[in-house]
Structure 1
Amino acid sequence: MTCTTNFAPRLRAQGLRMTPQRNAILHVLHHSGGHLSPTQVYEQARKEFPGLTEPTVYRTLEDLAEKKLLLAAHVGNGKIVYELAENQHHHLICHQCGKTVEVEHAPLELLYRQLETSTGYKLDSSHVTFFGLCPDCQS
């Protein structure tokens, strides 16, 4: 299944068209297998779509994250990385070596519900990044 076939219906459901720029960006994220910075997305996507500009990549990533098709994760130092919003998870990041571990959402589900109940907020973002020292850096 191509990226266009896979993502076009989801884009249409959000009122968006599958443009060559969106296709190139989604293709990169789909095949990356992880999180990419906007610059990394730009550098890889312009190989497929040479006319792509960096501002277009930033704008498209923000638009797709706003439509919940991508997950934007803050990974420290003001950096944001993007990935497809296909599985809900969180991150543990070592602030010394930068090692990142994905954490399933299920163990935090109760905390999310408690926060909603105690504050009255309806949480619409489901990503948390925890920072600490990994086992290797603790020694």
Structure 2
Amino acid sequence: MKAQRTRSQERILALLKTLNRAVSAQDLYVELRSQSQSMGLATVYRSLDALKLEGVVQVRTLASGESLYSCLQQDKHHLTCLQCGASIPIHECPVHELETQLQRSHQFKIYYHTLEFFGLCDPCQAAQSANGVVS
């Protein structure tokens, strides 16, 4: 039986749907305060964790260690530059068939997956080349 959501969880989920983009817990906290909705940062984190475990929110961790949260929509895949932090979405899913196989073979309900490739974007590669750095 699914646990009832708290008022804080409902407010955070509604805000994530409104924002329609991935945001950090700190950004959610600031946005809630700007809307005169008092909620502690610890409550924001606890609510996000509960919504993640329920399978309605997904989290993506950047190379910097920052976590970004969004409503569960679809799997996310990115190319992320380690130099400037630019993140380029990949629109095709190279592991969709693997996900289906894993669900069947392990009787495991997968809510979502992320796939992240880390390296250097073209402008950062050009800047390194201009500075004489070889990678």
Q: TM-score, normalization: structure 2? A: 0.75
Question: Tell me, which stretches of 5 or more residues in structure 1 are unaligned?
Answer: 1-12
Aligned-pair identity in percent equals 26
1:95 paired to 2:82: yes
Match of residue 37 from structure 1 = 24
Within 5 Å, give how 1:72-111 maps onto structure 2.
72-104=59-91, 106-111=93-98
Q: Cα RMSD (Å) of the superposition?
A: 2.7
Distance 2:21 2:46 in 1: 20
In structure 2, stretches of 5+ residues that fail to align are 127-135
**1:104 alignment partner, SS class:** coil
The number of residues matched between the two structures is 124
Deviations 1:31-60 (A, max 9, x none): 223211110111101223532111100000
Specify which of 36, 51, 62 is matched with residue 38 of structure 2: 51
State whether residues 90 and 128 of structure 1, in contact with CA within 8 Å, keep that contact through their aligned partners in structure 2.
Answer: yes
Structure 2: how far apart are the matches of 1:55 and 1:93?
A: 29
Corresponding residue for 2:5?
17
Larger gyration radius, structure 1 or structure 2: 2
Q: Which has the higher relative contact order, 1 or 2, with Cα contacts under 8 A spaced 6 or more apart? A: 2
